């Protein structure tokens, strides 16, 4: 994965995140103008939270008082929102991805930080578009039409004791086996050789498409595991 690509994607994420948060401020501004008590509640909660942090060494009873006051204010806010038919989510940022909140990363206290599936998918999509396999809708095993291959054995022409249809079916099954065993390091690679027009690229695209569905990174002529 190129660092430049990741950097530009992260810039995009940063922009999305800021936009979601600015949009929230705008929504808040409009709502608070209509219901000024909501602004007061927010200020009071913020002040109490600051006091809470400052007085971390306060006696337990005093801390409980502070928490109770904050909870009362939150409850009042909830009631005001309900009375005015405003959903709770209205006062939350509308992130494109709630999993990573548009940061591209998921933070886990045990596992640390890891790429969010949304960012992984973007990287896969870009990698897919960059590769030469743009015929996903056309060249895949679902559209594989055996009937275009003759069912007659023609040894003189093909030097094979089986019909072209039987032959392509054998090749297709080998490809499916390859896909099935893609993560098995003991499984051998596939190599297509032959004259042009025999369907080597078509078959490679079919394999690549199946692997992309399994979230493997593909860039013809190579496919690799995506981590
Ligand atoms: Zn995400």
DSSP 115: E
Cα-to-centroid distance, 119 and ligand 1 (Å) = 6
The residue behind tokens 């990174």 is 217
Task: Tell me whether the omega of the peptide bond preceding residue 93 falls within 30 degrees of 0, making it cis.
Answer: no
Domain co-membership, 39 together with 84: yes
- Give me the pLDDT at residue 130, please: 63
Domain co-membership, 104 together with 179: no
**Residue 189: left if φ>0, alpha if ψ -120 to 50, beta else—which one?**
beta
Domain total of the chain: 2
- Give me the pLDDT at residue 223, please: 47
Q: How far is CA 153 from the centre of its chain?
A: 48
Name the residue range of residue 149's domain. Answer: 131-224
Domain co-membership, 12 together with 94: yes
Q: How far apart are CA 12 and CA 4, in angstroms?
A: 12
- Give me the pLDDT at residue 129, please: 66
Domain co-membership, 99 together with 137: no
Cα-to-centroid distance, 70 and ligand 1 (Å) = 31
Task: Tell me, yes or no, whether 142 lies in a domain.
Answer: yes
Question: What are the tokens at 227?
Answer: 């981590």
Cα-to-centroid distance, 115 and ligand 1 (Å) = 8
Domain co-membership, 152 together with 57: no
pLDDT block averages, 10 residues each, the chain of length 227:
79 92 94 95 90 68 83 95 92 94 91 91 77 61 82 85 90 91 86 77 82 68 43
Domain co-membership, 93 together with 145: no
Cα-to-centroid distance, 87 and ligand 1 (Å) = 24
Cα-to-centroid distance, 122 and ligand 1 (Å) = 10
Q: At what angle do helices 164-180 and 200-213 cross, to 10 degrees?
A: 30
Cα-to-centroid distance, 214 and ligand 1 (Å) = 19
Does the pTM of the predicted model rise above 0.75? no
Question: What are the tokens at 78?
Answer: 């909830």
Domain co-membership, 161 together with 99: no
Cα-to-centroid distance, 99 and ligand 1 (Å) = 5
């Amino acid at each position: 994965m190129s660092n430049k690509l990741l950097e530009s994607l992260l810039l995009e994420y940063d922009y999305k995140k800021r936009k979601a948060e600015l949009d929230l401020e705008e929504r808040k501004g409009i709502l608070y103008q209509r219901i000024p008590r909501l602004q007061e509640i927010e200020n009071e909660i913020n002040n109490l939270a600051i006091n809470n942090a400052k007085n971390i060494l306060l006696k337990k009873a005093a801390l409980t008082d502070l928490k109770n006051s904050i909870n009362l204010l939150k409850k009042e806010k909830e009631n005001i929102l309900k009375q005015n038919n405003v959903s709770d989510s209205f006062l939350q940022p509308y992130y494109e991805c709630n999993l990573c909140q548009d940061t591209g990363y998921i933070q886990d206290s045990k596992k640390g930080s890891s790429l969010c599936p949304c960012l992984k998918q973007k990287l896969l999509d870009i990698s897919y578009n960059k590769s030469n396999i743009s015929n996903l809708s056309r060249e895949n095993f679902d559209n594989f039409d055996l009937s275009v291959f003759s069912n007659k054995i023609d040894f003189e022409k093909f030097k094979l004791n089986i019909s072209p249809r039987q032959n392509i079916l054998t090749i297709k099954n080998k490809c499916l086996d390859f896909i099935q065993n893609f993560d098995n390091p003991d499984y051998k690679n596939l190599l297509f050789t032959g004259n042009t027009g025999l369907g080597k690229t078509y078959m490679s695209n079919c394999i690549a498409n199946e692997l992309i569905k399994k979230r493997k990174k593909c860039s013809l002529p190579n496919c690799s595991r995506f981590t």
